Structure formats: structure tokens, C-alpha cells
Structure 1
């Protein structure tokens, strides 16, 4: 089995600064403000809740070769991070076809083997020209509700047999050429995508946002000159690279390995499709890291949980290393650009789920990618134990759909996970973890637009992993369908518990149940293809709880009392797991000391 090596190393030592620090800081702030403005514009112009509420989008500027100048920090890392790959994929595809770019073009791209994260994350790129010369790109990406696959929704397509079954593929297609809309392409979109008013409306919002970003970038260049802006950019790349190299240099040289497992397809009779390992070895040498994924499960040629190397695997790794080694609490705001990835080399054997071979399907790559990030963190815990969390509770994504007054409706709901306990801090409850960073969708938004009622949205009871700092708690979400419809689910974490650290307990698995109005219920696995339901049926999701950190008997008794009074755990569990005795809602300090001493 051959392997692919992905290395963003510049190959050169950092150059002396090209512009004065004040000018560089002004340009950095201006670039970041452009990306943030683009993000706000896209949210406000979008129709679907997955963009305007959950913020599952990305905005960024790149130079003419695809090197990222800046990204919208409030957006999803898995959307903004892959944008350089989108641009490089566009440039490669257009060069292969002998096409050129010109002012007024807008290019649509969603090729998962050409830089895109997966098919539903459609990118729109606007080339920026100065006096006839290409100087960069303004790009937006967003997750769309439907992309024309076999069944409704762009998640839960967990039975796709290849990339062609995952929906429409657009490889560097000009939707606007020299300022003129290509109406044929827009007609294809409207005629082949469900809920096209929402989806195409969101796409048009992306186009407008990218054009605004291009205008702002060009205005910045006119204000400071192209040379000054690009010199400042090169300085920012070098600065970010120095930060990362210094952080890596502080680590002890060595190899740090970890293995975790994902469910795969638990109801499949073929053992090669379930209980799949993700293996990571971090090789720290001086001021660089090689991330070796040898030992990761072979690709599934006809199941879509494979992860594109460029667009998912690389972002998962880069984000995790940057977040842990350059914690914003310590470092503050740092330039988000490709300099951060220069010291990192990724080795991924071809033909594995971390580097699949076309046309292996990849649309359900999200949960495995988040598990990969979790595995990187588990390996890094051996070098920086006070900078990581225990194992995370993975997310779940549900696509709801149906017909109403002769019109197809589609909705995508991201069901949050949880973080593990951290050194000195409890794990965060009910949040989207690691490379997701999307927001919880308000109940009011769901119920005001869809024939769905949310009956419960609460933290799980007695599902808190014990530790000196406890694991974050997953949620219970219960949906009632008010009309006949269907759902599909992309998830994980039904078999494997999030890992505890340094004596902390492992977390709690997820579960999914369908309760029928007509009577009876069925427990579902973590991946559910298109499943019809009747009005009055209930879907109950229990999200996973993250792992605990440290010896539970070292947890502050007052914190345990607070957990009991908040009804997160019972008094019986407080005594069993923490050695904390609580009687009639009060802490019994003497009995607690005796109970802990006897352990």
C-alpha cells in the first residue's frame, strides 16, 4: 500500500520583516475584518438555518496560488480551513481544460477529490484582478441542505456506493463568466436539487458575499499598494510559522502514538465495515512534526465514511495541533494562515479511510474526521497532558425531509456532542467539538419553519464521566413529527466510549431510538439511511458524554455537591464515583473524608 505525504513546509528560514510592524498589524487587521465581514454578510443573506443559525460556512481570502491570507474566525474550521484546497483544485482543473480566468468570473467547485471537504460543501470563488493581473481569490463555502443525491438531504447519505451517488459534482464551473450569469448552470441547480429555493438562494448569497470580499480586498490593495499588502502577508506567514515552530520546539522529541475506534456500520454483517481503527503517531523532531496515520483502517470502497486527505484529514490535524499548541487563552489572536501548517507533515497510506482512492464515497466523512482530531489529541496528551481534554463526545447530523403543500422541504440538524474534562476545568456540555464549531439551532427556528415539534432538549441525567474534572454532558433531543416524512442520520459513538484520561472514567455512548405513535419502538444504529416515519412518531437522540480527567476522588466535594443540586447526578452516584457523601442536599464532610480514606 503506497502512501501520500502532505507537507506545507516553505523550505526556507523566516526572512527579515518586509514592512514595518505597525503597517503589518494594520494590514493583518484589515484582512481579518474583510473575512469577518464576509461571514456576517453571508449569514444575513442566507435562507437556510444551517448557515444563518448554525454558521456552517467559511469565508477567506487567498493569494493567486491559493495560499490563505485570512479566514473568518467565527465560522466553522472545517469550512474555512479547506478553502486553499478549493482554490488549488480549481486552478488544477481549469489548467487541465485549458481554461483561463478573467475579471467578473465566479467559479463553483465541490469536488471532494479536488480540494473540497465533501460534495455538499460547495465553494464559490471570485478571482481578484489588478490591472489585468490575477492577485488573489475571495472564496465562500457553505453546507447545503441538498445536493441532488438519491435521497433528500445532504447528510445521512450513508448508503452511497461511490461519489457519483453522493449528488451533483461541480469541478471548477463558471456560474458567472466575465460578469454574465451562466443561466444553464443555474437551471441545472434549480432542476436537480430539492428545496431549490432555499439551496439556490444560499448559493446566490455565497456569490454576492465572495464579490463583496473581492471588492474589499481590491480596496485594501489600492490603499496600501499590492507590494505592501503582499509583503505584509509574507511577514504574517513567517510570523505564524515561527509561533508554531517555537511551540513544537518546546515538546520533547519522540514518537507519541494513539489508537481509537469508530463504529463504522454496526448493523453490517461484514466485519470489515465496523469497529474501524484510527491510528496516529506524532513524530516530534526539533521544530517540526510528522503525523503518521499508518495503521488506520482500509477504505470502505462502497460506504461513505472515507475522509478526503485534502479538505478533511489535513484540516482535522492542523486545527487540533494549532488549537492545543497555540491556545488562544495564552497566545491571544494570531494570524490564521498557511504559515501555521508549514512545520507539519502528514503521512497517510493510500487506500485507507484517511486517504481514499477515487471514486470511494466520502460524503459522511464528518464523524470520522472529528474522531481523527480526537485521536491526535490523545496522542499529544503524552507530551502536553495539561493542554488537552479527555475524549470528546462526537456529533450527529440528522436530515429531516417531507412534502408540504406539494413542495419538498429539507432541514439539517446538527446534534451537539461534548468535550472531555481538562486540566483544571470541567468538560463543556452540549457543544460542537473540535473541527466542527457550529452553533446549536434554536428550537424556535425549527418549530416556526418545519412540521416538527421539539419535546425535549436537555442534558442527560447520570451520564457524567467522573474525574477530578468531570466530562462534558451530552444532550437528549426528542423530536415529534407533525406530518408524515422521513429522516436520515450520520453519527458515531454508539459502541465506543470517549476515553478518560489520567484516572478519569470513560464517557458515555450515544443512542438513538424511534418511538412509533402506533406502538412499539426500535433502537437505531449510529448511521441510518433514508427512513420513512408517520405523523406522531418520535425520534429520541441521546448525545455522548466526554471522558473524565484525573482521579475522581480528588474532585472538590463542593463541585460534586453542585452537580447533585443541579440534578446532573444523583447522591448515590456522587458517593460511588467520587466518595462524596451528601445527605438531604448537604455535604457531609466527615463522612466524605472517611469514605475517601477507605477507598
Structure 2
């Protein structure tokens, strides 16, 4: 028996805070890591959807999936779901009895376990410190083909269930303890069209995620894990305080709105067309509940259902964050899980925004944008000076064909437009709400694809009238230079973007297939795989956003500028805005008299 007295160390207080300067430095370092990951991914990628459109995500999380930072160039619908990816991966691995080890790289695209939809594939690199899992470095990206029943990964609007949407990667280890799983890579190359392109993009994702993991580990070694995590918690708490303060400034109450989307307008089954999205926002103190009860039931055999985690949550969070914490007012707001703590989302099971597996979801993009627009419409009842009128929805077109026995695939995200907002006209021909992708340069398209871009311009249809006019959609015309095909997922061919506070509704979009033989076909907003011959043309008119406010209150000089830019005629200026234009100037007395007579 050892009679030596036991030495009891004097207890030391555990740090619960980190000084603000150190926290700010760590915050900046984390953001820079995510930005570097994004730049490296873009530079290494093969496809224009990542390299040019920036349809990717990059982020670091803690060991449980809490988001530490995200790349600012990425799209909200890519970086936003990353915490859900990690939670889904951990659930899948735990259910199989698998553990995460150093050197593993995990591929995941399960839309019912965190992913946004199948083509958005994540590669997750676990980060270990002295044998302890401390976080993940993750990249996501939209891939041009995922092995579905028809080519491409956009415009797959006829999949009858999740299995028809393409390959499902449910927490698959493509590297195990540093060793590549050759069978998985053989499977990918044998089942993906344009596999060199797609697999090349996947390899770029892995390398970018590995770079992020290395940088994160170096940061932790420099400052210590506890300090980094304390700085992260401080940042989360700061973001949460901002959101709670913004919610607290709202009047308590219930605020509701509804939107009707096309669905499948040419379908004889009424359950697949004219679908309703309803949102009720319940503001209580410093919290908001977003209740989607009343939204249409899921469509069992068409892929326009919305994954609750990965699409619905991101659409709601982004809308609330962008309206209540407008960056023009608040500056740079740290994007992390603290922003979502005061927000609760309710969606009944078996509805569009919370489908039951295996309901297909791959074409969830446009309905999700309509959901975000509906949340904004509900907020218009509460903060009318912080919202825009109705947005013109986006559209995705997949172009494809065969060249010397190999597939080529190209994806175009065609712009929508914003509605007018208090003090500002709507933005013209831009991606809206949670998309935020960039356009593909014409030079890039024509340099490596058998497609010619004939027209790329603003449409001629007058913008929606308002004190602040709606944004203008684009005209896009493409010519096939060889035989091929296209498929389309879109919205807004029947229902116009909503006007607000006396503003006019926006204009619908349209799609025309102009065949080489000389005939033409008006296409619905959703088109499954559709053949096209060489010299066939596809003409797409984008939607105009809604107007905001009484048109007769619009600044006459703004009306004049619209006339000079060719958006209006002098007759339309007089009839729609009560503005009299003589030559290139406003006749102020005549304008005042005309507007006064209209008020009587």
C-alpha cells in the first residue's frame, strides 16, 4: 500500500468566453478557409455549372454538424443544407453500425437525410485532432448527370419515385482510412452519362474539402480547440441575438399568404396541376413559427415535392434572414446556426413541403422558390417596406445529345426577376431568392457545346406598373447545331407574380420550340426529355416581377428614363402612369393636371 499522500491539483476555472479580438480573428480565419475552398473548387471543376454558375457549396462544421462558416460565393441552396447532410450521414452510418475514421471521405446525396436533392452531392471530410473527431470539411455541388432515367439532372420532371431520379448515395465511403474504394468509382463511371465531366467535378470537390480540412486543423492547432469552439459559440450567440432582436421588433400576430403554382398544366389529373402553397407566420415575442399547413398534398409520382430538410428549411431561413436582417442595413451578418434558433417550421407529413419516401423530389427547385416567395408575401402584411412584390420564378433547362457515342450535357438556369420594393425598382433578369447562381457566358457555352445562343436580352413586354416597377425578365434563344434533346423544369406559365399595395401583377413566362421544319410548339412549364433536330430553336421568355405601389405616384423622371430605355412608349407613360412626355422631357404642368384629374 502506498502511504504517500494524494496530491490534489487546485481546480482551475474553465474559460467560458474568448476575448472579442481573438474571436474576430478566428471568425475571419474560418470564413477565409471556406472562401478558399470555394475558389479552389471553381478552379478545379470541369463543368460550367460549378465553374461559371457557382452552383456549389463549401462549409466547415463541428463534429455534430453545427455550421462554423460557409463560402460567400456559394448558393444558399448548396451551403445551407450542409449541416443537414452531416446529420443525415451520421444517422445513416450509425444505423449500419459504421464508425467515422480518420482518412474517410463520405459521399452523400440522400434527399430524405439532409440533402437538397439527388444531383447535389456532398463530399464530407472528417477532421480529427489527436484521434478525436472535431468537425467536417464539406463541399457540395450540382452535377450534370446522376444516372436518372433520362439524361441530365435538370428537367427530370417525370420520375415516378426516388429510384427513378438517379443513383442514391446514402453515406457511402469513397475513401476508407485514406484508401479509395475502387468499386464505388467503377460504379460511378459505369452509370453516369458524361462520366469524365461528372467524376472530374467530384474529384475537385474532394480535393477542395481536403484543403479545407487541412486549414481548419492548422487553425485549431494554432489557437487550441477550446478557444476556436468558444469563438464559434460567441459568433452563434451574436447571430441569434440579431435575429431575435429583429423578430422582437415585429408586432405579434399571425400573417398568412397563399400561392398557386402551375404543377403539370398539361396533365389530365387535377391532383398534379394548380397546386397550392400556404404559409402562416406566427410572431410571438422573439420567435417565429412558420406553419405550412394548408399546402397541397404531395404528388406521389411526380418529382416536384420538397425535401423538408435541405430545401424547405433553407427557403424559409433565407427569406427571413434576408428580409429581417437586410445586409444593406445590418452589413455582414455571420451565417450560422444561431440565425435559425428562433425559427420553427411546421409542415404536415405527406404534403408538398414534407413528402414521404419514396415520393420523388428532384425537380423541387421552382416550387421551393415559390415557397420562399410565399413566406415573403406573408411578411408583407407585417413589414411592407422590407419586402419586394412577387418574384418571377426561375427555370432550368438541360441540353443533351450524343457525339461520337458519348453524351454531352449542359444545364442552363434561366433568370427570373424581382418585384419592386419600397424605394427601389425590381431587379431585372437575375436569379431570385435561394438560387443566387450566376449566368453562363455565351462564349463559354459556344466554345465547347453544339449550341448557339441567338438572343440574350431583356424582354420587350412592359414591366409591371407600380410606384416602383417590377423587374424585367430575359429573352433567351438557343439553336441546336446537331441533333439532341432538352428537358425543362419551370414555373409561372399560368400564374403571374403578385403585385403589392396597388402595383400591377407581373408577366408570365413562356417557352417555344421552333422546329427546323418551320412549325412551332408552345411548351408547358415542365417538359420531360424532348428530342430536337439540328437547327431547331428554343425560345424562352422570362417572367417580369410584380409592381409595388400606386403607379400614379411614380417619379415622373423614372417614367421618362423607362421610356428612353425602350421599356415604355409615351402613350403607355400617359395611360399607365399619368406622365406626359414631350420629346425627351417630362411636361410637368400637364403631368400634374393629368394625375389630378385621375384622382377626381
On whether the aligned pair clears a TM of 0.5, the verdict is yes
CA positional deviation for 1:390:
0.5
Alignment partner of 1:463: what SS?
Answer: coil
Instruction: Give the equivalent residue in structure 1 for 2:478.
Output: 479
For the pair 1:572 / 2:571, whether they are aligned, the reply is yes
Instruction: Give the equivalent residue in structure 2 for 1:9.
Output: none
For the pair 1:132 / 2:131, whether they are aligned, the reply is yes
Instruction: Give the equivalent residue in structure 1 for 2:205.
Output: 206
CA distance in 2: counterparts of 1:455 and 1:575, whole angstroms: 34
CA distance in 1: counterparts of 2:597 and 2:459, whole angstroms: 30
CA distance in 2: counterparts of 1:69 and 1:371, whole angstroms: 29
CA distance in 2: counterparts of 1:319 and 1:374, whole angstroms: 11
Cα distance per residue 1:152-183 (max 9 Å; x no partner): 10011100000000000000000011111111
Instruction: Give the equivalent residue in structure 2 for 1:168.
Output: 167
CA distance in 1: counterparts of 2:233 and 2:94, whole angstroms: 26
Instruction: Give the equivalent residue in structure 1 for 2:351.
Output: 352
Instruction: Give the equivalent residue in structure 2 for 1:418.
Output: 417
Instruction: Give the equivalent residue in structure 1 for 2:334.
Output: 335
Instruction: Give the equivalent residue in structure 2 for 1:378.
Output: 377
For the pair 1:255 / 2:244, whether they are aligned, the reply is no
CA positional deviation for 1:588:
2.3
Instruction: Give the equivalent residue in structure 1 for 2:60.
Output: 61
Alignment partner of 1:471: what SS?
Answer: coil
Instruction: Give the equivalent residue in structure 1 for 2:238.
Output: 239
CA positional deviation for 1:73:
1.5
CA contact (8 A) 1:462 1:570 kept: no
CA distance in 2: counterparts of 1:98 and 1:572, whole angstroms: 72
TM normalised by structure 1 equals: 0.97
Instruction: Give the equivalent residue in structure 2 for 1:106.
Output: 105
CA distance in 2: counterparts of 1:476 and 1:516, whole angstroms: 18
CA distance in 1: counterparts of 2:536 and 2:487, whole angstroms: 14
Instruction: Give the equivalent residue in structure 2 for 1:525.
Output: 524
Instruction: Give the equivalent residue in structure 2 for 1:554.
Output: 553
CA contact (8 A) 1:86 1:114 kept: yes
CA positional deviation for 1:279:
0.2
CA contact (8 A) 1:501 1:550 kept: yes
CA distance in 2: counterparts of 1:500 and 1:104, whole angstroms: 54
Alignment partner of 1:310: what SS?
Answer: helix
CA positional deviation for 1:584:
3.1
Instruction: Extract unaligned runs of 5+ from structure 2.
Output: 1-14
CA distance in 2: counterparts of 1:429 and 1:527, whole angstroms: 23
Instruction: Give the equivalent residue in structure 2 for 1:12.
Output: none
CA contact (8 A) 1:57 1:76 kept: yes
Instruction: Give the equivalent residue in structure 2 for 1:401.
Output: 400
Q: Within 5 A, what are the aligned runs for 1:43-62?
A: 43-62=42-61
Instruction: Give the equivalent residue in structure 2 for 1:387.
Output: 386
CA distance in 1: counterparts of 2:560 and 2:531, whole angstroms: 44
CA positional deviation for 1:17:
6.4
CA distance in 1: counterparts of 2:443 and 2:366, whole angstroms: 27
Alignment partner of 1:349: what SS?
Answer: coil
Instruction: Extract unaligned runs of 5+ from structure 1.
Output: 1-15
Instruction: Give the equivalent residue in structure 1 for 2:195.
Output: 196
CA positional deviation for 1:411:
0.2
CA distance in 1: counterparts of 2:537 and 2:593, whole angstroms: 46
CA positional deviation for 1:589:
2.2
CA positional deviation for 1:512:
0.4
CA distance in 1: counterparts of 2:264 and 2:351, whole angstroms: 16
Q: Within 5 A, what are the aligned runs for 1:312-323?
A: 312-323=311-322
Instruction: Give the equivalent residue in structure 1 for 2:29.
Output: 30
CA positional deviation for 1:463:
3.1
CA distance in 2: counterparts of 1:278 and 1:211, whole angstroms: 40
CA distance in 2: counterparts of 1:308 and 1:588, whole angstroms: 55
CA contact (8 A) 1:17 1:235 kept: no
Instruction: Give the equivalent residue in structure 2 for 1:3.
Output: none
Instruction: Give the equivalent residue in structure 2 for 1:8.
Output: none
Alignment partner of 1:31: what SS?
Answer: helix
Q: Within 5 A, what are the aligned runs for 1:259-338?
A: 259-338=258-337
CA distance in 2: counterparts of 1:185 and 1:450, whole angstroms: 29
Instruction: Give the equivalent residue in structure 2 for 1:143.
Output: 142
Cα distance per residue 1:4-29 (max 9 Å; x no partner): xxxxxxxxxxxx96111111111111
CA distance in 2: counterparts of 1:279 and 1:297, whole angstroms: 8
Cα distance per residue 1:219-266 (max 9 Å; x no partner): 000010000001111111111111100000000000000001110000
Alignment partner of 1:369: what SS?
Answer: helix
Alignment partner of 2:347: what SS?
Answer: strand
CA distance in 2: counterparts of 1:570 and 1:535, whole angstroms: 38
Alignment partner of 1:432: what SS?
Answer: coil
CA positional deviation for 1:461:
1.1
Instruction: Give the equivalent residue in structure 1 for 2:115.
Output: 116
CA distance in 2: counterparts of 1:85 and 1:199, whole angstroms: 23
Higher gyration radius (CA): 2
Instruction: Give the equivalent residue in structure 2 for 1:11.
Output: none
CA positional deviation for 1:301:
0.2
Alignment partner of 1:213: what SS?
Answer: helix
Cα distance per residue 1:534-580 (max 9 Å; x no partner): 11111000001100011111111111111111112222222221111
Instruction: Give the equivalent residue in structure 1 for 2:87.
Output: 88
CA distance in 1: counterparts of 2:76 and 2:16, whole angstroms: 28
Cα distance per residue 1:445-500 (max 9 Å; x no partner): 11111111111101011330011111000001000111010000000000111001
TM normalised by structure 2 equals: 0.96
